[in-house]
Structure 1
Protein backbone atom coordinates (compact mmCIF):
# COMPACT_ATOMS: atom_id res chain seq x y z
CA UNK A 1 0.00 0.00 0.00
CA UNK A 2 1.18 3.50 -0.79
CA UNK A 3 2.20 6.10 1.77
CA UNK A 4 2.60 3.53 4.52
CA UNK A 5 5.96 3.42 6.26
CA UNK A 6 7.38 0.34 7.94
CA UNK A 7 10.10 0.37 10.57
CA UNK A 8 11.99 -2.76 11.57
CA UNK A 9 14.38 -2.54 14.50
CA UNK A 10 16.38 -4.95 16.61
CA UNK A 11 17.98 -4.56 20.00
CA UNK A 12 20.59 -6.26 22.14
CA UNK A 13 18.46 -5.70 25.26
CA UNK A 14 17.92 -9.07 26.94
CA UNK A 15 15.09 -9.11 29.52
CA UNK A 16 16.16 -12.57 30.73
CA UNK A 17 19.28 -11.01 32.26
CA UNK A 18 19.14 -8.44 35.06
CA UNK A 19 16.17 -6.15 35.70
CA UNK A 20 13.53 -7.81 33.54
CA UNK A 21 10.79 -5.20 33.94
CA UNK A 22 13.08 -2.26 33.23
CA UNK A 23 14.40 -3.96 30.11
CA UNK A 24 10.93 -4.86 28.89
CA UNK A 25 9.94 -1.22 29.39
CA UNK A 26 12.99 -0.12 27.39
CA UNK A 27 12.05 -2.46 24.54
CA UNK A 28 8.47 -1.23 24.45
CA UNK A 29 9.67 2.37 24.44
CA UNK A 30 11.96 1.56 21.51
CA UNK A 31 8.90 0.44 19.58
CA UNK A 32 7.42 3.91 20.15
CA UNK A 33 10.48 5.75 18.81
CA UNK A 34 9.39 5.96 15.13
CA UNK A 35 6.17 7.62 16.27
CA UNK A 36 7.91 10.02 18.63
CA UNK A 37 10.58 11.00 16.12
CA UNK A 38 7.91 12.06 13.64
CA UNK A 39 5.54 13.83 15.98
CA UNK A 40 6.01 17.13 14.10
CA UNK A 41 4.86 15.47 10.87
CA UNK A 42 1.68 14.07 12.37
CA UNK A 43 -1.71 15.72 12.38
CA UNK A 44 -3.47 15.53 15.75
CA UNK A 45 -6.23 12.95 15.59
CA UNK A 46 -8.25 11.24 18.27
CA UNK A 47 -8.49 8.22 15.97
CA UNK A 48 -4.73 7.60 15.85
CA UNK A 49 -3.92 4.47 17.84
CA UNK A 50 -0.93 2.40 18.92
CA UNK A 51 -1.32 -1.38 18.69
CA UNK A 52 0.89 -3.62 20.83
CA UNK A 53 0.87 -7.38 20.28
CA UNK A 54 2.62 -9.98 22.40
CA UNK A 55 3.64 -13.35 20.98
CA UNK A 56 0.02 -14.42 20.56
CA UNK A 57 -1.68 -16.26 17.72
CA UNK A 58 -4.39 -14.00 16.37
CA UNK A 59 -6.59 -13.03 13.43
CA UNK A 60 -6.95 -9.60 11.78
CA UNK A 61 -10.45 -9.36 13.25
CA UNK A 62 -8.95 -9.42 16.74
CA UNK A 63 -6.93 -6.26 16.11
CA UNK A 64 -9.78 -4.54 14.29
CA UNK A 65 -12.22 -5.19 17.14
CA UNK A 66 -9.85 -3.72 19.72
CA UNK A 67 -9.32 -0.65 17.53
CA UNK A 68 -13.06 -0.31 16.88
CA UNK A 69 -14.03 -0.62 20.53
CA UNK A 70 -11.44 1.92 21.63
CA UNK A 71 -13.18 4.48 19.46
CA UNK A 72 -16.74 3.30 20.06
CA UNK A 73 -16.34 3.30 23.84
CA UNK A 74 -14.35 6.54 23.89
CA UNK A 75 -11.70 4.51 25.72
CA UNK A 76 -8.08 5.43 26.18
CA UNK A 77 -7.04 1.78 25.98
CA UNK A 78 -8.59 -1.57 25.14
CA UNK A 79 -7.23 -5.07 25.75
CA UNK A 80 -8.09 -8.61 24.71
CA UNK A 81 -8.45 -11.64 26.97
CA UNK A 82 -5.48 -14.00 26.83
CA UNK A 83 -5.49 -17.63 27.89
CA UNK A 84 -3.17 -20.55 28.53
CA UNK A 85 -3.71 -24.28 28.86
CA UNK A 86 -2.15 -25.60 32.06
CA UNK A 87 -4.61 -28.49 31.95
CA UNK A 88 -7.57 -29.56 29.89
CA UNK A 89 -9.44 -26.29 30.30
CA UNK A 90 -8.19 -22.80 29.42
CA UNK A 91 -6.99 -20.46 32.15
CA UNK A 92 -6.83 -16.67 32.01
CA UNK A 93 -3.15 -15.87 31.63
CA UNK A 94 -2.19 -12.25 32.41
CA UNK A 95 -3.25 -12.36 36.03
CA UNK A 96 -0.04 -10.67 37.24
CA UNK A 97 -0.83 -7.51 35.25
CA UNK A 98 -4.62 -7.31 35.02
CA UNK A 99 -6.56 -5.64 37.83
CA UNK A 100 -10.30 -5.24 37.98
CA UNK A 101 -11.97 -1.87 38.39
CA UNK A 102 -12.12 -2.80 42.09
CA UNK A 103 -8.32 -3.16 42.16
CA UNK A 104 -8.17 -6.92 42.63
CA UNK A 105 -6.61 -9.64 40.50
CA UNK A 106 -8.86 -11.32 37.93
CA UNK A 107 -8.93 -14.47 40.06
CA UNK A 108 -7.83 -15.29 43.57
CA UNK A 109 -4.32 -16.71 43.98
CA UNK A 110 -3.39 -17.87 47.49
CA UNK A 111 0.10 -17.61 48.94
CA UNK A 112 1.03 -21.08 47.67
CA UNK A 113 0.60 -19.85 44.07
CA UNK A 114 -2.25 -22.23 43.25
CA UNK A 115 -4.37 -21.39 40.21
CA UNK A 116 -7.19 -23.67 41.34
CA UNK A 117 -9.59 -20.71 41.43
CA UNK A 118 -8.75 -19.58 37.90
CA UNK A 119 -12.17 -20.73 36.69
CA UNK A 120 -13.83 -18.13 38.93
CA UNK A 121 -12.96 -14.97 37.01
CA UNK A 122 -13.76 -11.61 38.57
CA UNK A 123 -15.29 -13.50 41.47
CA UNK A 124 -15.66 -10.42 43.66
CA UNK A 125 -16.65 -7.90 40.99
CA UNK A 126 -20.11 -6.37 40.88
CA UNK A 127 -22.95 -7.86 38.85
CA UNK A 128 -22.57 -5.43 35.93
CA UNK A 129 -18.92 -6.37 35.41
CA UNK A 130 -19.54 -10.10 35.66
CA UNK A 131 -22.53 -9.87 33.32
CA UNK A 132 -20.43 -8.05 30.75
CA UNK A 133 -17.69 -10.66 30.97
CA UNK A 134 -20.07 -13.57 30.44
CA UNK A 135 -21.94 -11.86 27.60
CA UNK A 136 -18.65 -10.88 25.92
CA UNK A 137 -19.31 -7.15 26.27
CA UNK A 138 -16.55 -4.66 27.12
CA UNK A 139 -16.02 -3.89 30.79
CA UNK A 140 -13.87 -1.31 32.61
CA UNK A 141 -10.72 -2.31 34.48
CA UNK A 142 -7.91 -0.61 36.36
CA UNK A 143 -5.20 -2.28 34.29
CA UNK A 144 -4.77 -4.84 31.52
CA UNK A 145 -2.56 -5.99 28.67
CA UNK A 146 -3.71 -9.54 28.05
CA UNK A 147 -1.63 -10.33 24.99
CA UNK A 148 -2.86 -7.41 22.87
CA UNK A 149 -3.55 -3.77 23.70
CA UNK A 150 -4.60 -0.70 21.72
CA UNK A 151 -4.26 2.80 23.12
CA UNK A 152 -4.59 6.36 21.89
CA UNK A 153 -1.46 7.73 20.23
CA UNK A 154 -2.10 10.95 22.13
CA UNK A 155 -1.14 9.13 25.31
CA UNK A 156 2.51 9.19 24.27
CA UNK A 157 2.50 12.19 21.90
CA UNK A 158 0.58 14.68 24.03
CA UNK A 159 0.66 13.32 27.58
CA UNK A 160 4.18 11.90 27.68
CA UNK A 161 3.28 8.49 29.10
CA UNK A 162 6.05 5.92 28.69
CA UNK A 163 6.69 2.38 29.83
CA UNK A 164 8.76 2.19 33.01
CA UNK A 165 9.70 0.06 35.98
CA UNK A 166 8.63 0.61 39.58
CA UNK A 167 10.11 3.33 41.75
CA UNK A 168 11.08 0.93 44.50
CA UNK A 169 13.19 3.54 46.31
CA UNK A 170 9.97 5.39 47.13
CA UNK A 171 8.10 2.21 47.98
CA UNK A 172 6.15 1.72 44.77
CA UNK A 173 4.79 -1.78 44.26
CA UNK A 174 6.96 -4.04 42.13
CA UNK A 175 4.77 -4.70 39.11
CA UNK A 176 4.91 -5.17 35.37
CA UNK A 177 5.46 -2.29 32.96
CA UNK A 178 1.95 -2.58 31.41
CA UNK A 179 0.33 -2.21 34.83
CA UNK A 180 2.48 0.83 35.55
CA UNK A 181 1.54 2.22 32.14
CA UNK A 182 -2.14 1.96 33.11
CA UNK A 183 -1.43 3.47 36.53
CA UNK A 184 0.17 6.47 34.84
CA UNK A 185 -2.85 6.79 32.55
CA UNK A 186 -5.12 7.04 35.57
CA UNK A 187 -2.83 9.60 37.20
CA UNK A 188 -3.12 11.81 34.12
CA UNK A 189 -6.88 11.55 34.07
CA UNK A 190 -6.88 9.07 31.19
CA UNK A 191 -8.20 6.04 33.05
CA UNK A 192 -10.71 4.82 30.49
CA UNK A 193 -9.31 1.30 30.24
CA UNK A 194 -11.46 -1.60 29.07
CA UNK A 195 -11.20 -5.31 28.35
CA UNK A 196 -12.98 -6.59 25.23
CA UNK A 197 -13.90 -10.22 26.03
CA UNK A 198 -15.08 -10.88 22.47
CA UNK A 199 -11.36 -11.11 21.60
CA UNK A 200 -9.70 -14.25 22.98
CA UNK A 201 -6.05 -15.13 22.35
CA UNK A 202 -3.53 -17.85 23.13
CA UNK A 203 0.19 -18.22 22.56
CA UNK A 204 0.40 -20.93 19.91
CA UNK A 205 -1.40 -21.50 16.63
CA UNK A 206 -2.83 -24.83 17.76
CA UNK A 207 -4.03 -23.56 21.12
CA UNK A 208 -5.08 -20.25 19.60
CA UNK A 209 -7.46 -22.12 17.32
CA UNK A 210 -8.64 -24.17 20.28
CA UNK A 211 -9.42 -21.14 22.44
CA UNK A 212 -11.38 -19.55 19.62
CA UNK A 213 -13.37 -22.71 19.12
CA UNK A 214 -14.10 -22.64 22.86
CA UNK A 215 -14.72 -18.91 23.39
CA UNK A 216 -15.75 -18.01 19.86
CA UNK A 217 -13.91 -16.36 17.00
CA UNK A 218 -14.13 -12.58 17.29
CA UNK A 219 -15.97 -12.21 14.00
CA UNK A 220 -18.61 -14.67 15.27
CA UNK A 221 -18.83 -13.11 18.73
CA UNK A 222 -19.73 -9.73 17.26
CA UNK A 223 -21.67 -10.95 14.20
CA UNK A 224 -24.90 -9.08 13.66
CA UNK A 225 -24.14 -6.59 16.40
CA UNK A 226 -24.32 -2.91 15.71
CA UNK A 227 -23.50 -0.06 18.01
CA UNK A 228 -25.26 -1.26 21.13
CA UNK A 229 -26.14 1.18 23.88
CA UNK A 230 -25.77 -1.70 26.34
CA UNK A 231 -22.08 -1.88 25.43
CA UNK A 232 -21.48 1.72 26.44
CA UNK A 233 -19.44 1.97 29.61
CA UNK A 234 -20.23 4.31 32.46
CA UNK A 235 -16.66 5.12 33.34
CA UNK A 236 -15.75 4.95 37.00
CA UNK A 237 -13.09 6.54 39.20
CA UNK A 238 -10.06 4.46 40.16
CA UNK A 239 -10.32 2.14 43.16
CA UNK A 240 -8.91 3.48 46.40
CA UNK A 241 -6.54 0.51 46.68
CA UNK A 242 -4.98 -1.89 44.19
CA UNK A 243 -3.59 -5.33 44.99
CA UNK A 244 0.21 -5.43 44.81
CA UNK A 245 1.58 -8.85 43.94
CA UNK A 246 5.38 -8.89 43.50
CA UNK A 247 5.23 -12.66 44.05
CA UNK A 248 2.38 -15.04 44.78
CA UNK A 249 3.45 -15.36 48.43
CA UNK A 250 3.81 -11.59 48.86
CA UNK A 251 0.47 -9.91 48.22
CA UNK A 252 -0.83 -6.74 49.83
CA UNK A 253 -2.94 -3.67 49.06
CA UNK A 254 -1.50 -0.29 48.19
CA UNK A 255 -2.97 3.10 47.27
CA UNK A 256 -3.60 3.13 43.52
CA UNK A 257 -1.49 6.29 43.14
CA UNK A 258 1.26 5.29 45.58
CA UNK A 259 4.43 7.42 44.99
CA UNK A 260 2.63 9.59 42.40
CA UNK A 261 0.39 11.74 44.60
Structure 2
Protein backbone atom coordinates (compact mmCIF):
# COMPACT_ATOMS: atom_id res chain seq x y z
CA UNK A 1 0.00 0.00 0.00
CA UNK A 2 1.48 3.35 -1.04
CA UNK A 3 0.78 7.07 -1.12
CA UNK A 4 -2.61 8.49 -0.12
CA UNK A 5 -4.22 5.05 0.37
CA UNK A 6 -1.55 4.10 2.90
CA UNK A 7 -1.84 7.39 4.77
CA UNK A 8 -5.64 7.17 4.83
CA UNK A 9 -5.49 3.63 6.23
CA UNK A 10 -2.98 4.66 8.91
CA UNK A 11 -5.11 7.67 9.83
CA UNK A 12 -8.17 5.46 10.30
CA UNK A 13 -6.24 3.04 12.51
CA UNK A 14 -4.93 5.87 14.69
CA UNK A 15 -8.37 7.41 15.03
CA UNK A 16 -9.75 4.02 16.09
CA UNK A 17 -7.13 3.87 18.84
CA UNK A 18 -8.20 7.31 20.08
CA UNK A 19 -11.94 6.60 20.21
CA UNK A 20 -11.94 5.81 23.96
CA UNK A 21 -10.58 9.32 24.53
CA UNK A 22 -13.41 11.09 22.66
CA UNK A 23 -15.90 13.25 24.54
CA UNK A 24 -19.56 12.28 24.59
CA UNK A 25 -22.79 13.87 25.80
CA UNK A 26 -22.86 11.53 28.79
CA UNK A 27 -21.88 13.29 32.00
CA UNK A 28 -20.51 10.02 33.33
CA UNK A 29 -18.26 9.63 30.28
CA UNK A 30 -17.15 13.25 30.62
CA UNK A 31 -16.18 12.66 34.25
CA UNK A 32 -14.14 9.62 33.25
CA UNK A 33 -12.54 11.62 30.45
CA UNK A 34 -11.44 14.29 32.92
CA UNK A 35 -9.50 11.63 34.80
CA UNK A 36 -7.55 10.63 31.68
CA UNK A 37 -6.10 13.96 30.58
CA UNK A 38 -5.72 17.57 31.75
CA UNK A 39 -7.67 19.89 29.45
CA UNK A 40 -5.16 22.70 29.90
CA UNK A 41 -2.09 20.55 29.19
CA UNK A 42 0.31 21.66 26.47
CA UNK A 43 3.52 20.30 25.09
CA UNK A 44 6.49 22.27 26.41
CA UNK A 45 6.92 25.79 24.93
CA UNK A 46 3.22 25.94 24.04
CA UNK A 47 3.67 23.67 21.02
CA UNK A 48 0.73 21.59 19.87
CA UNK A 49 3.09 18.90 18.59
CA UNK A 50 6.80 18.14 18.89
CA UNK A 51 8.79 15.70 16.77
CA UNK A 52 12.07 13.95 17.32
CA UNK A 53 14.39 13.28 14.38
CA UNK A 54 14.19 9.84 12.77
CA UNK A 55 17.38 8.58 11.15
CA UNK A 56 18.52 5.71 8.97
CA UNK A 57 21.97 4.44 7.99
CA UNK A 58 23.26 4.81 11.57
CA UNK A 59 22.24 8.43 11.93
CA UNK A 60 23.61 9.69 8.64
CA UNK A 61 20.33 10.28 6.76
CA UNK A 62 17.07 11.84 7.95
CA UNK A 63 14.24 9.38 7.27
CA UNK A 64 10.86 11.14 7.22
CA UNK A 65 11.58 13.41 4.24
CA UNK A 66 8.30 12.55 2.51
CA UNK A 67 6.06 14.37 4.99
CA UNK A 68 8.30 16.74 6.96
CA UNK A 69 8.44 20.40 5.89
CA UNK A 70 10.42 23.35 7.16
CA UNK A 71 8.90 26.71 8.01
CA UNK A 72 9.75 27.92 4.51
CA UNK A 73 7.62 25.07 3.16
CA UNK A 74 10.47 22.99 1.78
CA UNK A 75 11.47 19.38 2.39
CA UNK A 76 14.16 19.00 5.03
CA UNK A 77 16.65 18.31 2.23
CA UNK A 78 16.43 18.80 -1.53
CA UNK A 79 14.88 15.92 -3.46
CA UNK A 80 15.32 16.24 -7.24
CA UNK A 81 12.88 14.88 -9.83
CA UNK A 82 14.74 11.58 -10.09
CA UNK A 83 13.89 10.92 -6.42
CA UNK A 84 17.54 10.49 -5.44
CA UNK A 85 18.70 11.27 -1.91
CA UNK A 86 21.92 12.83 -3.15
CA UNK A 87 21.50 15.84 -0.87
CA UNK A 88 20.28 13.98 2.22
CA UNK A 89 23.15 15.27 4.36
CA UNK A 90 22.45 18.90 3.45
CA UNK A 91 19.58 19.45 5.88
CA UNK A 92 17.64 22.74 5.85
CA UNK A 93 19.70 24.14 2.98
CA UNK A 94 16.83 26.55 2.17
CA UNK A 95 16.11 27.56 5.79
CA UNK A 96 19.32 28.94 7.36
CA UNK A 97 17.64 29.79 10.69
CA UNK A 98 16.45 26.20 11.12
CA UNK A 99 19.84 24.88 10.07
CA UNK A 100 21.61 27.03 12.63
CA UNK A 101 19.34 25.80 15.42
CA UNK A 102 19.64 22.19 14.21
CA UNK A 103 23.42 22.37 14.42
CA UNK A 104 23.12 23.84 17.93
CA UNK A 105 20.62 21.09 18.94
CA UNK A 106 18.00 23.75 19.76
CA UNK A 107 14.30 23.25 18.95
CA UNK A 108 12.74 25.21 16.12
CA UNK A 109 9.35 25.65 14.48
CA UNK A 110 8.49 23.67 11.36
CA UNK A 111 5.41 23.37 9.15
CA UNK A 112 4.87 19.61 9.44
CA UNK A 113 6.51 16.42 10.65
CA UNK A 114 5.99 12.78 11.42
CA UNK A 115 8.28 10.40 13.21
CA UNK A 116 8.78 7.45 15.48
CA UNK A 117 8.64 9.71 18.53
CA UNK A 118 6.21 12.61 18.82
CA UNK A 119 4.24 14.36 21.56
CA UNK A 120 0.82 15.92 20.94
CA UNK A 121 -1.71 17.68 23.12
CA UNK A 122 -4.66 15.43 23.95
CA UNK A 123 -7.42 18.01 24.38
CA UNK A 124 -8.03 18.66 20.69
CA UNK A 125 -8.43 14.95 20.00
CA UNK A 126 -10.65 14.37 23.02
CA UNK A 127 -12.86 17.34 22.17
CA UNK A 128 -13.21 16.11 18.58
CA UNK A 129 -11.56 19.27 17.26
CA UNK A 130 -9.01 17.39 15.18
CA UNK A 131 -8.23 13.86 14.11
CA UNK A 132 -5.61 12.05 12.08
CA UNK A 133 -6.21 12.60 8.39
CA UNK A 134 -4.86 12.13 4.90
CA UNK A 135 -5.39 15.70 3.66
CA UNK A 136 -7.74 18.25 5.20
CA UNK A 137 -7.37 21.85 6.42
CA UNK A 138 -5.79 22.41 9.82
CA UNK A 139 -3.22 24.59 11.60
CA UNK A 140 -1.03 23.73 14.59
CA UNK A 141 2.23 24.98 16.07
CA UNK A 142 4.75 22.20 15.34
CA UNK A 143 8.20 21.95 16.90
CA UNK A 144 11.23 19.93 15.80
CA UNK A 145 13.56 18.83 18.60
CA UNK A 146 17.01 17.91 17.23
CA UNK A 147 18.31 16.85 20.65
CA UNK A 148 16.05 13.78 20.44
CA UNK A 149 17.26 11.33 17.80
CA UNK A 150 15.71 7.92 17.16
CA UNK A 151 15.68 5.08 14.64
CA UNK A 152 13.32 2.23 13.72
CA UNK A 153 15.55 -0.73 14.58
CA UNK A 154 17.81 -1.52 17.53
CA UNK A 155 21.00 -1.70 15.50
CA UNK A 156 20.17 1.53 13.70
CA UNK A 157 19.35 3.17 17.05
CA UNK A 158 22.78 2.29 18.44
CA UNK A 159 24.49 3.76 15.40
CA UNK A 160 22.24 6.83 15.53
CA UNK A 161 23.08 7.52 19.17
CA UNK A 162 26.75 7.18 18.42
CA UNK A 163 26.42 9.60 15.50
CA UNK A 164 23.86 12.07 16.91
CA UNK A 165 24.21 11.63 20.67
CA UNK A 166 21.74 11.25 23.53
CA UNK A 167 19.50 14.02 24.85
CA UNK A 168 21.78 14.43 27.85
CA UNK A 169 24.69 15.15 25.51
CA UNK A 170 22.96 18.26 24.20
CA UNK A 171 20.64 19.48 26.98
CA UNK A 172 21.74 20.66 30.39
CA UNK A 173 19.00 19.07 32.46
CA UNK A 174 19.97 20.63 35.76
CA UNK A 175 19.10 24.19 34.70
CA UNK A 176 15.87 25.53 36.27
CA UNK A 177 14.78 27.46 33.17
CA UNK A 178 15.40 27.77 29.46
CA UNK A 179 17.99 30.12 28.05
CA UNK A 180 16.57 32.93 25.94
CA UNK A 181 18.04 31.59 22.72
CA UNK A 182 16.31 28.25 23.31
CA UNK A 183 12.84 29.80 23.34
CA UNK A 184 11.02 29.52 20.02
CA UNK A 185 9.43 32.68 18.63
CA UNK A 186 6.32 31.31 16.98
CA UNK A 187 5.45 32.35 13.45
CA UNK A 188 1.66 32.26 13.13
CA UNK A 189 1.45 32.46 9.33
CA UNK A 190 2.22 29.39 7.21
CA UNK A 191 4.82 29.57 4.46
CA UNK A 192 3.50 31.11 1.22
CA UNK A 193 4.13 27.87 -0.67
CA UNK A 194 4.73 24.28 0.45
CA UNK A 195 6.56 21.48 -1.37
CA UNK A 196 4.09 18.78 -2.41
CA UNK A 197 5.53 15.29 -2.73
CA UNK A 198 2.96 12.71 -3.87
CA UNK A 199 6.01 10.60 -4.70
CA UNK A 200 9.74 11.25 -4.57
CA UNK A 201 9.74 11.59 -8.37
CA UNK A 202 6.99 14.24 -8.43
CA UNK A 203 7.99 17.26 -6.32
CA UNK A 204 6.06 20.47 -6.91
CA UNK A 205 4.99 23.60 -5.04
CA UNK A 206 1.44 24.32 -3.89
CA UNK A 207 -0.44 26.68 -1.56
CA UNK A 208 -0.39 25.58 2.11
CA UNK A 209 -3.28 24.24 4.15
CA UNK A 210 -4.67 27.02 6.34
Q: What is the TM-score normalised by the length of structure 2? A: 0.86
Could you tell me which runs of 5 or more consecutive residues in structure 2 were left unpaired when the two chains were aligned. none
Q: Aligned with 1:78: secondary structure?
A: strand
User: 1:114 corresponds to which residue?
Assistant: 84
Alignment of 1:164-179 (within 5 A): 164-166=133-135
**Higher RCO structure, 1 or 2 (CA under 8 Å, sep 6+):** 2
User: 2:185 corresponds to which residue?
Assistant: 234
The answer to whether 1:77 aligns with 2:46 is no
Deviations 1:133-185 (A, max 9, x none): 0011001000011221111112212362111223xxxxxxxxxxxxx6xx62x
Deviations 1:11-70 (A, max 9, x none): xxxx67x9222111111111211211676123353226xxxxxxxxxxxxxxxxxxxxx3
**Aligned counterparts of 1:203 and 1:19: Cα–Cα separation in 2:** 22
The answer to whether 1:46 aligns with 2:37 is no
User: 2:101 corresponds to which residue?
Assistant: 132
Question: Shift in Å at residue 224 of structure 1?
Answer: 4.4
The answer to whether 1:29 aligns with 2:15 is yes
User: 2:206 corresponds to which residue?
Assistant: 254
The answer to whether 1:102 aligns with 2:72 is yes
**Aligned counterparts of 1:36 and 1:136: Cα–Cα separation in 2:** 36
Deviations 1:207-247 (A, max 9, x none): 10110111111122213463222111111121111111101
Is the 8 Å Cα contact of residues 46 and 152 (structure 1) preserved in structure 2? no
**Alignment RMSD:** 2.2
The alignment of Structure 1 onto Structure 2 pairs a total of residues equal to: 198
Could you tell me which runs of 5 or more consecutive residues in structure 1 were left unpaired when the two chains were aligned. 1-14, 49-69, 167-179
Question: Shift in Å at residue 206 of structure 1?
Answer: 1.3
Is the 8 Å Cα contact of residues 100 and 142 (structure 1) preserved in structure 2? yes
The answer to whether 1:215 aligns with 2:164 is yes
Structure with more strand by fraction: 1
User: 1:3 corresponds to which residue?
Assistant: none
